[in-house]
Amino acid sequence: MLKKLSCFVLALFLVTLSLDVKAQNNPEAVQEIAAAYDLAIYNNGTFPPSSTIAKLNAELQTIPPSDNRYTYYEAVRDAIQTQGNAPENALVYQVYIVGTENNLSESVVKVLYDEAVTMLQ
């Protein structure tokens, strides 16, 4: 019984993880998140991956790890580097994840996003 339960939990985790990764590159999910938080959506290619990663790395050197921006910038960078997400999608999706995981208000989420976009432009 315990083995069956463990297998079910593992399968559920893998399905959830798979859906989470797919949602990051799903234009409809990105649009829904952007609409919910009143975020501007940028076309893919607006922020080139290599320069985006370089700018995020530079900013990460100046921000304390306890700052929400650090968590957000690190998540965006990792989504671009390890999962191959477009920076424009990663910016929207990761601000949603960081906001949800840290119980941030909608206004704080919007400020995080807007500051990141301004820094990358």
* Closest by Cα among 39, 11, 56 to 95: 39
Summarised one tens digit per residue, pLDDT across range 23-54 is 556 778 899 999 999 999 999 999 999 999 99
Distance of CA 49 to the CA centre of its chain: 14
Predicted local confidence at residue 11, as pLDDT: 42
- Supply the range of the domain harboring residue 44: 2-120
Please report which confidence band the pLDDT of residue 70 belongs to, taking 50, 70 and 90 as the band edges. Answer: very high
Chain mean pLDDT for the chain: 85
Predicted local confidence at residue 28, as pLDDT: 86
Q: What is the C-alpha separation between 20 and 75, in angstroms, rounded?
A: 14
| DSSP sequence for 59-74 | HHTTS-TTSHHHHHHH
Q: Provide mean pLDDT across the span 2-22.
A: 46
Predicted local confidence at residue 1, as pLDDT: 60
Domains identified in the chain, total number: 1
Predicted local confidence at residue 103, as pLDDT: 95
Summarised one tens digit per residue, pLDDT across range 73-90 is 999 999 999 999 999 999
Please report which confidence band the pLDDT of residue 3 belongs to, taking 50, 70 and 90 as the band edges. Answer: low
Burial 102-115 (b: 16+ CB within 10 A, else e): eebeeeebbebbee
